[in-house]
Amino acid sequence: MFGSDANREGTMNGGNRITVRLGALACASTITAGMLVACGSSGGTMAPIFPADLARRIDSIVEAHQDSGLFPEIAIGVSDPERGSYIRAYGVADRATGRPADIHDRFRIGSATKTFTATAVLRLADEGKLSLDDVLEKYVPGMPNGNTIRLRDLLGMRGGVFDIAGDPEFADQFHTSPLPHEVHDGDVLQAIRAHADKALPPNTRTEYSNTEYFLLGEVLKKVTGKPLRDVFDDLTTRYGLHETSYPVDTTMPTPESRGYSYDGNALVDVTSRTTPQVGGAGAMMISTISDLVRYAPMLGRGDLLKPETFRTRTQFMSSDDKTLLYGLGIATQGQWIGHDGATMGYNADVEYLPSRQATLVVMVNQYTPDLRPYDDRLPGVQLTAEFLWEDLVDELYPGTGSARHIGTSAPDPSLPAPADLDGRLQQALDPNVPAAQQSLRIVGDDRDPELITRLARAFASTGTRIHVEKTNHVRHGAMMVTGTATTGSKSSPIQIPFTVQDGTWQILGSWACKAIKTAGGSAPGCG
């Protein structure tokens, strides 16, 4: 489908593996012939061979997402003791050269970095080199509320620290190339001090803040006397992760997956636009799909930590809006634990399912940050790996994710033609059309009959229009719609997920609720 070679890896016990590079047409026949075989470990046991039919179902889902044209490279990794392992990279790593994707391509992993940062801090606590009840002032003087913020507050997103992502000066890096100025650690600390009035009392609410993990990076440097690269190198060595690192500048180790973001409808290479000083210990690590598949179970089991420390780490607390359930550098998605991450040009989701000892990792080389309120980006427009990860969970481990799709054994209704769906969506996003007269529905509108009207008002508030260009059948009960959202003279790609309920294609409720919230609205049906 993609006109380039893909990579598959069968992972075995004992860390051995067989890597096979195959053309797109040869993949299915080769897997069917049993090429994803397992080698025996030193103990003489055999890892299971990943089922060929399951591999084809995974390929079909990923290829449906990639057919949207929004993600140049997608890498996925699945592993569990019953089924074996399946790791593959799809598409191209570099649009300029056409270099095919590879399972050893390096990606920036964004906030999945926080899992490493938290582990490093927790290990220092286990070693008695710091206490989680130490206050921030002890290590980073002069921070707002530094005398009352504890390290455990920072780890759990409860420090109340102003997130510098809300500072226009730092948002500038996403708008211009080259960067308007060089950013240093001291600049970030100064930005925090300059917004003391926006700090919240610590340990009163769970609210996601990248800056809290930047500060934990400063703590790590202070306690260890080492630069962050050395701190993380020590940790990845202990984990046995040889393709994971912390950068010292904007360059990437090779082979690299080039990172892309949308500027309007143009896909722009932004690989060199991210300096490690901006995100620091909160967002800047680099890894591969192969390494992260090995890492997820070690993270999810609490390897390298004392059992009581891991129990403390996995005491999850909810944000006020119930959208975040966070521990100490680890979060939950349904029954899964791990962390997602996004930074300019890259998006990753690294998750572990304890009940099945299963791992599912997804990485893509496209991410366009939502920069509201510093521009007029559109409600609900963020193109991430989130829906791909959820589609794979629904297919492989139904009932363990966020229950995106309703699930039914009945055949799906026919896929609507883009032109037909475009007309229906135009009507759905017209706030002057009563909800009772709409032909499109949103999952959850039985609890809130005006949900479709609230969504229409969200898009109307920014004068946004949507034009449907593609409808892709992703899997049973799931359709992804790709189009263009236009506000005034600005346009951006948009994806709208649909699921089957009551025998019809309906807009996914979680997507609609996110769009409503992004536009400043609320809805009873959104919980």
Distance (Å, rounded) from C-alpha 222 to C-alpha 129? 11
Return the pLDDT at 203: 96
Tell me which CATH code domain 418-519 carries.
3.10.450
Asked if the model's pLDDT at residue 22 lies above 60, the reply is no
Tens of pLDDT, residues 55-95: 999 999 999 999 988 999 999 999 999 999 999 999 999 99
Instruction: Taking residues 191-213, report their average pLDDT.
Output: 93
Return the pLDDT at 391: 93
Asked if the model's pLDDT at residue 15 lies above 90, the reply is no
Tens of pLDDT, residues 129-152: 999 999 999 999 999 999 999 999
pTM for this prediction: 0.88
Contact 460, 431 (CB under 8 A): yes
Asked if the model's pLDDT at residue 439 lies above 70, the reply is yes
Helix (H, G, I), strand (E, B) or coil at 267: strand
Tens of pLDDT, residues 265-278: 889 999 988 888 77
Asked if the model's pLDDT at residue 166 lies above 80, the reply is no
Return the pLDDT at 179: 54
Return the pLDDT at 21: 30
Distance (Å, rounded) from C-alpha 331 to C-alpha 82? 25
* β-pair partners for 353: 358
Asked if the model's pLDDT at residue 373 lies above 50, the reply is no
Return the pLDDT at 491: 85
Distance (Å, rounded) from C-alpha 104 to C-alpha 88? 10
Question: CB-side exposure of 124: number of CA atoms within 13 Å?
Answer: 25
- Fold identical between 108-397 and 418-519? no
Contact 319, 288 (CB under 8 A): no
Which residues, at least 6 apart from 141, have a Cβ–Cβ distance to it below 8 Å?
none
Contact 62, 388 (CB under 8 A): yes
Return the pLDDT at 40: 36
pLDDT, the chain, mean: 86
Return the pLDDT at 91: 98
Q: What are phi and psi of 456, to 5 degrees?
A: -60, -40
**Is 251 or 520 the better-scoring residue by pLDDT?**
251
Tens of pLDDT, residues 206-243: 999 999 999 999 999 999 999 999 999 999 999 999 99
Classify domain 108-397 at the CATH class level: alpha beta
Asked if the model's pLDDT at residue 9 lies above 50, the reply is no
Domain-by-domain residue ranges, the chain? 108-397, 418-519
The first and second tokens of residue 481, run together, are: 């719609």
